[in-house]
Amino acid sequence: RHLTGKTHVAGSDGDNQFATYIKERWEAAGLPMTHIDSYYPLLNYPISRSLTLLEPFRYDAVLREPAIAEDTTSGDPDAVPTFLGYSPSGNVTAELVYANFGGIEDFAMLAKNGIDVKGKIVLVRYGGAFRGLKVRAAELSGAAAVLIFSDPAQDGYKMGATYPDGPWRPPHGVQRGSIQYPTFYPGDPLTPFIAATKDAPRIPIEEAPIPKIPAIPISYADAAPFLKALVGHGILARTLSLNWQGGLDMDYWTGPAAKVNMYVNNDFKIKPIWNVLSIIEGKHEPDQAIILGGHSDAWVYGSVDPSSSNSVIVETGVALGKMYKSGWRPDRTIILASWDGEEYGLLGSTEWVEDHVEVLNRTAIAYINLDMGAYGPHFHAAASPSLANLIRDVTKGVKDPNSGKMDTPQGRVPRISPLGFGSDYVAFLQFVGVAAMDIKFEGDYGVYHSNYDSFHWMEKFGDPTWEYHKTLASIVGRIVLSLAHDEILPFDYAPYSYELTRYATDVSTALQTAEFPIEWASSLHEAIQLFSKAVNKLNKAIDGLSDIETKTNAEQMDEPKLVVQGNDNNEIMMITSFDADLSASKKHKKRPNAKKLNKILGFGERAFINKDGIPGRPWYKHVVYAPGEWSGYGAEMFPAIHEAIRAHNETRVLNAIAVASHQIQQAAEMLSP
């Protein structure tokens, strides 16, 4: 409740107060080395905006989210107005064109059918690609401005009852968000590759990967009159493709037609943001660090995004602090992090990683990310393949609050998705090569980035009993303590072998489709075979240690446990319990070769990092995973190869395959025991 009590957009007074609150909670609990790291990125804030349909009839868009009587925070006069992070200011009067989801393929479809968007205001709907890439596609197509609306087919009344009667977006609900171009790099737009410290050198804003044309988000109630003004003009949208028709009860037409004025006044400034960190140094392997992190900033109140996760991170820190005060020490170093500025473009985490890249390269073995942690009954995980079996093993021991067993869309055993773009794991995995995961409980959720993502929404629809928050906390606690205490790190690279083989098959198919010789992928397949053999040998070496005596039952009882409870204020409490005398570290024994194996297991992901990065976007250095060039959110596997194939550039294709094959061979060598 405290974390959703006031607005806390990045760089604001409320945001700073939240950072101070988290720091004080952790210090009071006993966490050591708790501090705030400040960075100075470029931010923007709304001053004023308007949107008017001038012809064929007049309509002045509302551009605000009205209060809902039963949701007390929805009427807060301090609520952040509807706007898009990094949109420039502008005043544009032009014809309107509807461009479906605003993907690069949608603009190509319009051009193919003779619809010119140059100089026009483009209306696109949420869904598909990341919102910033919609604006980028419009800008490259010559559009003068962009309107992005939430269509009821995606998260409104076509999905079910709308808030406050149901969990879906009400007619005037608006999705705020960043429109930075993540294709090139996340973090502060003005300081690529380096931390945005106060005196850091900065590139000119004109060179930054942010839009040069203005954009605003609007509701489907505001979008309806503009779509109505297009009826009968241009092409009937569903004749281009059925997915061009949205959920509003009218035919969608492309235009161009109508006359629209859009005015945006946003204030850009370099401002401080505040990461809160605490470091618990490991007693036996301090040079191996596990990082648990998630962001604290929100566009408005952020009950789901991010407070459902941030509350778990804060209370995990409190529990570990109490353990620390009682004498417990982890075998490996644990770092807790509450990141700032995630909503603008992963600012806090990216700047911190860029600031500490050399230390992280030497020490970081796993990053656990929480973002939008608990808002429904369905467990979902995305992770590096080496951590997939850890997630599966941990969730086997956790009961679903309702059904008694873990509920996932795939059934009993959760399928682990690949990590793309969208949260604070990006810099760890794709810039440094730290194995990462992102876990959550998800459900029906239509108030994303709106004024209605509130405590009341969560209490009524997201997690009324708070049991899924507690279950998430239990899973997180088990994962953190397993990584910090297991004698042999719980990494398994066998799933990586399987996934790489699958991805290489996709490369062969793409080569064939593009009419390139399929034999070009031979070196990739051969490298993966070497990798698979190395993984098999590594797993046999680990299995071979099972005959050597490990801890006695009494010693196993000394491991700390986190017990998750709740209180009358609907807050999560994680309390510590011990079956013995907090002396696990005193009775610490290591089997022969354990330290060597842990070095191999914990740092294997580094081998997939190519220092030169992806051609054209060198910040992304992982050869296996990167955000899609034109999707943003989703991961693309072997991105450099597929981008070269799409460009039909023979030299680039061969080079990308050679680089990926080399890195996989390096991984095979690194994983050899």
Q: Which residue has the tokens 């005193």?
A: 586
Domain-embedded: residue 586:
no
Does 261 score more than 80 pLDDT? yes
Are 291 and 382 part of one and the same domain?
Answer: yes
Are 155 and 296 part of one and the same domain?
Answer: no
Are 514 and 444 part of one and the same domain?
Answer: no
Q: Phi-psi category of 218—alpha, beta or left, where left has phi over 0 and alpha has psi -120 to 50?
A: beta
Are 133 and 282 part of one and the same domain?
Answer: no
Are 194 and 208 part of one and the same domain?
Answer: yes
| 280 touches 560 (CB < 8 A) | no
Q: For Cα atoms 124, 140, 254, give the angle at the middle one, nearest 5 degrees.
A: 35
Angstrom distance (rounded) from CA 224 to CA 51? 13
Average the pLDDT over 140-158 and give the result: 98
Query: Pick the residue with more confidence: 537 or 4?
Result: 537
Does 642 score more than 70 pLDDT? yes
Please report, for the domain that includes residue 164, its CATH number: 3.50.30.30
**Sign of torsion over alpha carbons 278, 338, 371, 600:** negative
Are 374 and 396 part of one and the same domain?
Answer: yes
CA atoms within 13 A on the CB side of 246: 27
Length of the chain: 673
Last residue of a domain, one of 266, 296, 315: 266
Are 226 and 249 part of one and the same domain?
Answer: yes
Last residue of a domain, one of 248, 266, 284: 266
Average the pLDDT over 571-599 and give the result: 58
pLDDT at 377: 94
What mean pLDDT value characterizes the chain?
A: 93
Does 552 score more than 50 pLDDT? no
Residue type, 457: W
Last residue of a domain, one of 233, 266, 299: 266
Q: What is the DSSP letter of 81?
A: P
Are 525 and 482 part of one and the same domain?
Answer: no
Q: What is the DSSP letter of 303?
A: I
Average the pLDDT over 22-45 and give the result: 98
Angstrom distance (rounded) from CA 191 to CA 162? 41
Percent of the chain surpassing pLDDT 90? 87
pLDDT at 573: 55
Please report, for the domain that includes residue 616, its CATH number: 1.20.930.40
Query: Pick the residue with more confidence: 13 or 409?
Result: 13
Q: Which residues are CB-neighbours of 136 under 8 A, at least 6 positions away?
A: 181, 183, 211
- pTM for this prediction: 0.94
Does 581 score more than 80 pLDDT? no
Q: What tokens does 395 get? A: 């969730």
Domain-embedded: residue 620:
yes
3-class state of residue 219 by DSSP: coil
Radius of gyration (C-alpha) of the chain in whole angstroms: 25
Report pLDDT digits (tens) over 164-200: 999 999 999 999 999 999 999 999 999 999 999 999 9
Which of 501, 673, 500, 477 is CA-nearest to residue 593? Answer: 673
| 278 touches 259 (CB < 8 A) | no
Query: Pick the residue with more confidence: 192 or 566?
Result: 192
Does 584 score more than 90 pLDDT? no
Report pLDDT digits (tens) over 401-432: 877 666 554 445 578 999 999 899 999 999 99
Does 223 score more than 50 pLDDT? yes
Q: Which residues are CB-neighbours of 568 under 8 A, at least 6 positions away?
A: none
Q: What is the dihedral of CA 98, 100, 102, 107, to 10 degrees?
A: -70
Are 182 and 219 part of one and the same domain?
Answer: yes
Domain-embedded: residue 245:
yes
pLDDT at 434: 99
Domain-embedded: residue 13:
yes
Please report, for the domain that includes residue 448, its CATH number: 3.40.630.10
Report pLDDT digits (tens) over 432-447: 999 999 999 999 999 9
Q: What are phi and psi of 181, to 5 degrees?
A: -95, 100
Q: With both helix axes pointing from N to C terminus, report the angle between 467-485 and 308-325 in degrees, rounded to the nearest 10.
A: 50
Q: How far is CA 132 from the centre of its chain?
A: 15
Q: What is the number of domains present in the chain?
A: 3
Which residues constitute the domain of residue 191?
Answer: 45-266
Residue type, 557: M
Q: Is the bond into 192 cis (omega within 30 degrees of 0)?
A: no
**Sign of torsion over alpha carbons 185, 187, 188, 192:** negative
Domain-embedded: residue 585:
no
Domain-embedded: residue 587:
no
Q: Phi-psi category of 433—alpha, beta or left, where left has phi over 0 and alpha has psi -120 to 50?
A: left
Domain-embedded: residue 588:
no
Write out the catalytic residue numbers.
Answer: 342, 522, 622
Does 549 score more than 60 pLDDT? no
Are 198 and 236 part of one and the same domain?
Answer: yes
Domain-embedded: residue 582:
no
Are 429 and 501 part of one and the same domain?
Answer: no
pLDDT at 566: 60
Pairing of strands 90-98, 121-125: parallel
Are 289 and 339 part of one and the same domain?
Answer: yes
Average the pLDDT over 153-162 and give the result: 98
